[in-house]
Amino acid sequence: MSRVSTETGDTSGTRPYMAPEQWLGRKQDGRTDQYALACVLYELLSGAPPFAGVFETGDPIIMRTAVERDAPDEIEDAPPAINAALLRALSKAPKDRFPSCAAFIAALSPETRKPDIPETRNTVTAGVRSSSAPPPDAASLEADVLRRKVLVSRTLAAISEADRIDGEFGSFATSAEIELEAAKEAIDRNRFAAAAQCLDRAEAAWKQLLQAKNQRKAREEAERKAHEEATRKAHEDAERKAREEENARKAAERKNLEQDKVQLWAGGPYWATRNIGAEKPEDSGLYFWWGDTVGYRREGDLWVASDGSSRNFSFGDKNTPTLGKGHAALRREGWITSAGTLAPQHDAAHAQWGGNWRMPTQQELYDLSSNCDWTWTAMNGVNGYVVRGRGDYAGASIFLPTAGFGDGTSLYDAGSGGDYWSSVPYESDSYGARDLNFYSGDHDTNNFHDRYYGFVVRPVQGFTE
């Protein structure tokens, strides 16, 4: 269970049986084995090694602290002399323990304890008297028999429980039970030499059981880590695939952008024929808070980020860093340009489509209203406005679908109303931004809303003369 080393810095051993000096990497000697032997006897008598609950945590810091500082509990049913011997053998400092394992074993039977008993074995089986100890008198022999019966009964109960819980270790447990039953019978007949041999074999089987359990634990830990690594890799692969698909979608979108734009009045900008993230004119596309460039798509009841960074986004003030910032703060932090419009790196149209695409200004939304005819209609089952140019531009038009708006985790007014962001913050407070809002029979280009709402964006290209 532990390996004695005469060198410093060695922490080899099975944790529940390691002495404080092993945990600290200090010099070790035979008294380190004595500590491990005391742990084995403690476990045989009580059913668990010292500090068993602490070792179940699996936390090395907590385990080491307990071994270094805490005193083990006394065993309730054990004679005072055995408790005293165990606690001394489990002392934190090696100098406070018995001078040898033989002295420790002798102390377990007070009547036979001698000050200088030579140690004849490097490792002494718990509960087995050293072969060099003098023969006990009748009284000590009777006490020894009673102690060994307690030892056997407790160990049998512990092994039976282990066998019940860990059926795969049944062969080890069965071997230990057979040898312990034989030892019990030999003790009843006062055949202590035979009992010692049985107990040696029982302890060997018990150690094999513990070793097998530790090996299984190590195997399960390795399997757990392998599963975690596979899960992590699968998650990374899924994220990478999502990014690749999104990049491919954007590349295909950019390829067709030059054909997907119209000019609706002389000197006006070119208007895209669909929203950002939409494949067709009637699609809503992505929704953005003002200043956002990621965009969120509606999937069932969830807002899902276009880059895969979130699958349960909520439009609100906590997720809107532009909220509460006036013009000066927005300009100082780089959100808007000196002209008062969103900077390119914060303009959703430019970030998503590249080139010289951008979000429309408030003036361009106003010109869209005053220079074009607006007709409420439906396109492929989606309500919205057809906005058509006049005169020489009567053949050019765009369709603005009723995309509704995002608030929190919900989507509102889809199919009945539309809200489209401009690139201009509201001039009278630090919370709003200008936008286009429309319903059947009415459209308002002199409108503003709080920046945390999720609105769609219709990009423009070029500048008004």
Domains of the chain by range and CATH? 15-225 (1.10.510), 261-461 (no CATH)
Per the CB < 8 A criterion, the answer to whether 357 and 367 are in contact is no
pLDDT of residue 117: 34
pLDDT of residue 156: 53
Q: What is the rounded average pLDDT of the residues 188-217? A: 76
Asked if residue 118 has pLDDT above 60, the reply is no
Overall pTM > 0.85: no
Measured distance CA(155)–CA(202) in Å, rounded: 10
The single residue listed with the structure tokens 């002494």 is: 124
The single residue listed with the structure tokens 């869209």 is: 368
Average pLDDT, the chain: 82
pLDDT of residue 8: 44
Q: What is the rounded average pLDDT of the residues 225-250? A: 88
3-class DSSP state of 172:
helix
β strands within 343-455, DSSP E: 357-358, 373-379, 382-388, 397-401, 405-407, 410-412, 417-425, 432-439, 442-450
The single residue listed with the structure tokens 């929704």 is: 287
Measured distance CA(191)–CA(173) in Å, rounded: 24
Per the CB < 8 A criterion, the answer to whether 116 and 151 are in contact is no
β strands within 215-364, DSSP E: 261-263, 270-272, 296-299, 302-305, 357-358
7 compared with 305, residue with greater pLDDT: 305
Amino acid at residue number 63 = M
Least-confidence region, from 124-133, 286-295, 381-390: 124-133
By DSSP bridging, strand 261-263 and strand 442-450 are unpaired
CA distances 221 to 212, 217, 225, 232, 436, Å, are: 14, 6, 6, 16, 58
In DSSP terms, 448 is beta-bridged to 434
Least-confidence region, from 206-215, 223-232, 241-250, 361-370: 206-215
Least-confidence region, from 201-210, 358-367, 435-444: 201-210
- Token pair, residue 85, equals 């011997």
Element (H, E) at 404: none
pLDDT band at 358 (very low <50, low <70, confident <90, very high): very high
In DSSP terms, 406 is beta-bridged to 411, 454
The single residue listed with the structure tokens 């038009």 is: 397
Strongest mean pLDDT among 44-58, 100-114, 216-230, 314-328: 314-328
Q: Cβ atoms within 10 A of the Cβ of 54, count?
A: 18
Q: Cβ atoms within 10 A of the Cβ of 419, count?
A: 22
Q: What is the rounded average pLDDT of the residues 132-152? A: 51
Measured distance CA(362)–CA(116) in Å, rounded: 100
CA distances 255 to 34, 259, 353, Å, are: 79, 9, 10
pLDDT of residue 104: 86
pLDDT of residue 167: 52
159 compared with 95, residue with greater pLDDT: 95
438 compared with 21, residue with greater pLDDT: 438
pLDDT band at 215 (very low <50, low <70, confident <90, very high): confident
